[in-house]
Structure 1
């Protein structure tokens, strides 16, 4: 079962963004739950370690390992749809875009989605990935039950009633509690969204931010540093039929914008002094007023952007404006040239122990940047702001702090460790990332 050949041991894993690579001892693609069980038991017996990868869309080192790497790509089927109950059960490796298409064909949809749909279901759950809308939780909060192969090679099916502690831990489990093999999630009848977008001055947007969050089902803000302009995207459910989409969406869908944007990022990376002028050019091209009606997933999802780096933290909702002001001050005072948007989204409170939105409505503030010499100083500065304000990291994005900082911002951090001790006592699912953020 284990891949022990020289060729297998030399295979390298690289994530989507290209910023995380590793050379696992073996790469495995089981096609059944029984094969997962066999693999875990063999790895455990040998005193080795194992990590699971979905689509490799995380910027953090969460999937990297020098032990065994397990892909979910052969566990990617939709198992059951119960439209009356409003649930769909899937194998954990199914990609979000495939699930969205399956549901749409049957008149159903997920209540919310993030900006891209290339990730696996297990990946978005394990990292606390989200969309936007203060009345709607992240994708982990949509989980009704899941099946897990534990560190002892046992199979458990867990929900809120059967094992409340494990359920509170495993819905954002960082891949450290076992291998998720199947998930049952809530779904809803398919719906359309009316989206309107417009531009505000930076200070004007901050003044209106909280009222706009309350007023709309889904709201996000894009600030392009060095421009003083924020683009607002507001979307609400509507019975209206889809309308003709805006021109820029057509360009995005045709694939024409991505290479142009990639060229702009590359130019800014080579000549950082040009970034402010380039940002003004991008804002003048893309930031425009429009309105449209479309299927929910087409409003939520955007075409895959060019490769770039991301850091993100979940602030208390009421800290949104202050955090954004401090980010602007950081960029100006340290003269950091930032050639990508800062994104502001909002998520409902939940009861998941390692969720950035645990116990409070969350403002998810994403700091993005192309490959430039200042990317690390930018992310370190943003992280310092986050820690001062009690923010929590997005597990799939870049941050540098360790377990002691996690203990300060996640009230149930030690409860999570107790659950891990119970179901993975030998740390089969550990790697450098988990040792840093959870402690050795």
Structure 2
């Protein structure tokens, strides 16, 4: 079942799932496995798994048990804290029981302000509005604050949140936009980067792989609420050093900032957190650098990667930041001792065997490693492994200008 169907079926019964990720085309099993969330610190917070009160999971078993065992951890069973954010390594989730609420509407107001006090506001906004979030347009020095609160279902108006990034567009327009974007990236002409702006595929989603249209990375990480202001201040300092360095983030609708409450799930957030969501250019050509990408300083603040939105280097050592990861691995061993639902990749991510890093030529450009040598970047294209400008302990692929037109794009 996909999230859209769950929301619609619940509404028919006069009920609502209070929180969800911003796109309803994901499966319920998938969004739970990766800890998907909306934005809130109120009540149980915005993670969908916090509203799970029961699950049915089919796990492997020996032939004497018919090759499978059906397990049904309920609300009071400790295994539920492993199962509700499982990365898919425990078994097949066949049923989920969610605690729904009486249906309600939401009142939404968008406020555009300058970002001079963003570092202070990021610590406060989540407590002011039940579903509040922010979109930071760093190059423009603007923040779009979303005042989003629950109202009674009888309130007038029936608006629809038609988020621009998830709409279908004419396919030809998407292809033309991609051509313009590639020109901007390849020419380093960042001064123009903000100006560039089904039915037999006459229309499609921006990420549809059947068309050579928009192609991008979407990366997310979470920082404890108390540390978020300092991280934002560091990002602003980077922006001030080179105002054009982060502009491709603005071209992809900015940095989305959301709130996630602390969770009892073994692989959930250990404290109230702020989620930073970046969408940025990706080349179709392997090994070609992308401009304006920037997450290295997040390590300074103990950030943890969003399970469903990241690349190899971000997962290296991440499992150690989850205080109850050992408890999760014990449940995993009981549910799937023969590792039927495990893979080399999941073993790397969970710290069982090996590392998610793949160290080779150009690995840092592709997000496969953190650079320690120039060859991990793209020296032939002017990118070298250097300390970060704001967080000197970081190692990033930094562009070294060869003319006054070129610029540096590191964090």
Structure 1 and Structure 2 fold alike (TM over 0.5): yes
Partner of 1:219: 132
Counterpart CA distance in 1 for 2:162 and 2:319 is 42
Counterpart CA distance in 1 for 2:191 and 2:17 is 38
Kept in 2, the 8 Å contact 1:227–1:276? The answer is no
Counterpart CA distance in 2 for 1:270 and 1:328 is 27
Richer in helix (by share): 1
1:116 to 10, 14, 23: 23
State TM-score, norm by structure 2: 0.69
The alignment of Structure 1 onto Structure 2 pairs a total of residues equal to 319
Matches within 5 A, 1:375-414: 375=290, 378=293, 381-382=294-295, 384-401=296-313, 405-414=317-326
Kept in 2, the 8 Å contact 1:226–1:279? The answer is no
Partner of 2:145: 232
Kept in 2, the 8 Å contact 1:265–1:370? The answer is no
Change (3 A) 1:269 1:186: farther
Aligned Cα root-mean-square deviation (Å)? 3.0
Matches within 5 A, 1:209-288: 209-239=122-152, 241-243=155-157, 245=159, 249=162, 255-256=168-169, 263-264=176-177, 266-272=179-185, 273-279=188-194
The structural deviation recorded for 1:131 is 0.2
Write the deviation string for residues 2-41 of structure 1: whole angstroms up to 9, x where unpaired: xxxxxxxxxxxxxxxxxxxxxxxxxxxxxxxxxxxxxxxx
Counterpart CA distance in 2 for 1:350 and 1:109 is 21
Residue 427 of structure 1: SS of its match in structure 2? coil
Change (3 A) 1:245 1:160: closer
Change (3 A) 1:347 1:254: closer
Partner of 1:62: none
State TM-score, norm by structure 1: 0.65
Structure 1 unpaired stretches of 5+: 1-93, 283-302
Counterpart CA distance in 1 for 2:319 and 2:181 is 38
Partner of 2:98: 185
The structural deviation recorded for 1:120 is 0.4
The structural deviation recorded for 1:351 is 0.6
Partner of 2:49: 140
Structure 2 unpaired stretches of 5+: 62-67, 198-203, 208-214, 354-411
Counterpart CA distance in 2 for 1:280 and 1:394 is 31
Change (3 A) 1:187 1:244: closer
The structural deviation recorded for 1:435 is 1.9
Write the deviation string for residues 180-210 of structure 1: whole angstroms up to 9, x where unpaired: 1110011111111110001111223333333
Change (3 A) 1:195 1:169: same
Partner of 1:327: 235
Kept in 1, the 8 Å contact 2:60–2:340? The answer is yes
